[in-house]
Structure 1
């Protein structure tokens, strides 16, 4: 076979590979501060409670991820989006995000970064009902002490209760951060018998369980 012909074929394959790599969406690469697990461990369930502004993936046109599907679902519920819930950040999703950003006085660039995530989560938390009935499963003997750094279902249940009571506006994510501690402290301030320490200890659990019983 002609050597020049073989070299020509190899060159064409190399150029084609370079072109394909060049057009892959940049957004599929984890952003700074993110890991690949940040993108792959997300379950598309139409809820935004599993996200926080500091760890949520940055979404731009061309992104294909379950996080896009969740955003599409919420924006559709709020009347910003009328396209398919397909997890593909296309033109319709971009337009919906721009419209949402304008409604929140954000830079209308269609890029879902930390600021836009904060606005989305704020809107989601304000417009999505929460259920604190799960607290009925706890007793003073089984309820864990919760403080900054605690994680798990008990934290989620406390966050849901505090949100329903109007003390908490953050994500119901099961992570006991400073915002959760501050809302616990605000709750404690209502009761003279509670220490305002932001910790869900035995006395605070007792008061919370009395409230929901």
Structure 2
């Protein structure tokens, strides 16, 4: 009898615990899961000249991957500030050199867009539209126009003109993800 009683008591305690605190067993699991999701949502700090942290390092790596000239060292110095201002200008943000929520969001979106719309894809679209005889060159930055549409800016050169000793330059073009090629 004592053995059965000991076996039953822990079961009753486990079932009764959520009820004792006013939560049904069915409601207890979702609350724990939603707390985990909330804990994962991280707010990044505002960064500016003089900041030093792993967040600065993350910022610098994102900028470097987006073809901005920065050193990944975790120190927000003049070179990082300059790259941030250029990024902000390129993405129609206030170019104050301070990385707040708006800049963190331009950065995150740029990172995803660069994975979906690569430089090589843009070049292929440009050659399809203009000619396979065109060579494109640029810094590889994904930019935004005034309507917040992403594009790559390339200098286009004609292979035949280059082979004949000229520069081959025919102009500058914006190549969009939807295949539009717009002369500057």
Judge same fold: TM > 0.5, yes or no. Answer: no
